[in-house]
Amino acid sequence: MLFWLTACVLFQSGAIDCAKDEPCVPETGVEETGGGDDTQVQDTNPPVLDPVMGAWITGQDSQGYLVNYLPPSGSMELLWFGTQPILAAAQDSTHLIGVSEKGELVDLKTDTVMATLPHLHTDLAVVNGQVIVATRYSLYRNISGVFSQISTGSFSDLQHIVNDGSGGLYGVERVDGNMRLLRGTSSGWGVQIAAYDDRVDRSLDLFLGQGDKPMTCSSDGSVYLIEELALGNTVPWRKPSADVENVQACSFDAGSQSVLLLSKEKGLFRVAPDGEVSVVDLAMQGTSAFFSE
């Protein structure tokens, strides 16, 4: 079930201000349970959505800001339209969640600010039905309307996260000019590959590719296996045969073995195993995309 959301007033009172090493605490309109570092904020009347898979793409047109949804098969559908910029969006089992320029985590269905991040968000992932939001230093998890901070102080400059396919996460972190691959859960993290590349521009996004191996991409749409980059092999695993500029996000479609690329200027494209590029939606030019396989 998808919801068509019309123009609305997005930001309301009730934001949660979180210091770097403190749990999120509500101001008004919610119930608080637990104590200490386990303090949680529970919605009194959480909405119900059917979980959906696909791509949530944020952007804007002459009328305002958009969040669109691209299902695995079918046409692009408008999920939300408003006057405030949304940088990223994702859906768990109960909420359609957007991240604003101000770092506010907003339930776009009810136009309710669920939490405010102390640092700019860097990425989103959905693991076991929960939306995970990353900042450079911490992770935040939503469970039934409750946003709590996890893995505090575990990162120095976390750039990307992705579901590892087994209930955990892969993460890419920048350390001393190098990119390294992490793997872990909310209870702990470890280094998978200490340093796989010294170029940030080859790590614009992180996703699971063929064989559930972590991959990344560059702004021209070239896709790289992280384990190959770690060996010094900078030859792309897949490269578009046609020019795709200013790629903002990428993902892998296991069904067709193709790569999805979102270009800020040119739209959404699919790159086949032979490198052939096909258009998914030329009109959908966006600033970011969250893909969920």
Q: Encode pLDDT of 60-113 as tens digits.
A: 778 888 888 877 667 778 888 888 888 888 887 778 889 988 899 998 888 889
Domain boundaries along the sequence of the chain:
31-292
Query: What's the rounded mean pLDDT across residues 221-227?
Result: 96
| Residue that wins the pLDDT comparison between 10 and 101 | 101
- Which letter does DSSP use for residue 228 in this model? H
Q: What are phi and psi of 36, to 5 degrees?
A: 60, -140
Tell how far CA 171 is from the center of its chain: 12
- Which letter does DSSP use for residue 226 in this model? H
Q: CA dist 76 to 43, 70, 71, Å?
A: 30, 5, 7
Q: What is the pTM of this model?
A: 0.77
- What is the per-residue pLDDT across 121-159, written as a single tens digit (0 to 9) for each? 999 988 888 889 999 998 998 877 788 888 766 788 999
| % of the chain exceeding 90 in pLDDT | 32
Q: Tell me what pLDDT residue 78 has.
A: 85
Helix (H) or strand (E) holding 236: none
| Residue that wins the pLDDT comparison between 199 and 72 | 199
CATH top class, domain 31-292: mainly beta
Helix (H) or strand (E) holding 96: strand 96-100
> Under DSSP, is residue 179 helix (H, G, I), strand (E, B) or coil?
strand
Q: Which range (44-48, 84-88, 257-261) has the least confidence?
A: 44-48
Q: Tell me what pLDDT residue 14 has.
A: 26
Tell me the two tokens of residue 53. Answer: 């898979």
Q: Which residue has the tokens 């996260």?
A: 161
Q: How confident is the model at residue 286 (pLDDT cuts 50, 70, 90)?
A: low
Nearest-angstrom CA–CA distance, 56 and 36: 35
Q: Tell me what pLDDT residue 26 has.
A: 30
Reply yes or no on whether the pLDDT at 202 is more than 90. Answer: yes
Query: In 3D, which of 281, 263, 230 has the Cα closest to residue 77?
Result: 281
Query: What's the rounded mean pLDDT across residues 174-195?
Result: 90
Reply yes or no on whether the pLDDT at 1 is more than 80. Answer: no
Tell me the two tokens of residue 61. Answer: 């047109």
Q: Tell me what pLDDT residue 60 has.
A: 79
Q: CA dist 236 to 135, 150, 174, 220, 293, Å?
A: 28, 34, 21, 11, 22
Q: Tell me what pLDDT residue 226 has.
A: 97
Q: How many CB atoms lie under 10 A from the CB of residue 11?
A: 16
The single-letter code of the amino acid at 116 is: T
Q: Tell me what pLDDT residue 287 has.
A: 63
Query: In 3D, which of 85, 99, 83, 97 has the Cα closest to residue 145?
Result: 97
Q: How confident is the model at residue 19 (pLDDT cuts 50, 70, 90)?
A: very low
115 forms bridges with which residues in the sheet? 105
Q: Are 173 and 187 in contact (CB under 8 A)?
A: no
| Degrees, nearest 5: CA angle 270-129-208 | 35
Query: In 3D, which of 181, 286, 164 has the Cα closest to residue 224?
Result: 181
Q: Tell me what pLDDT residue 282 has.
A: 61
H helix count then E strand count, the chain = 1, 25
- What is the per-residue pLDDT across 227-245, written as a single tens digit (0 to 9) for each? 999 999 999 999 999 988 8
Q: Tell me what pLDDT residue 263 has.
A: 85
Mean pLDDT of the chain, nearest integer: 77
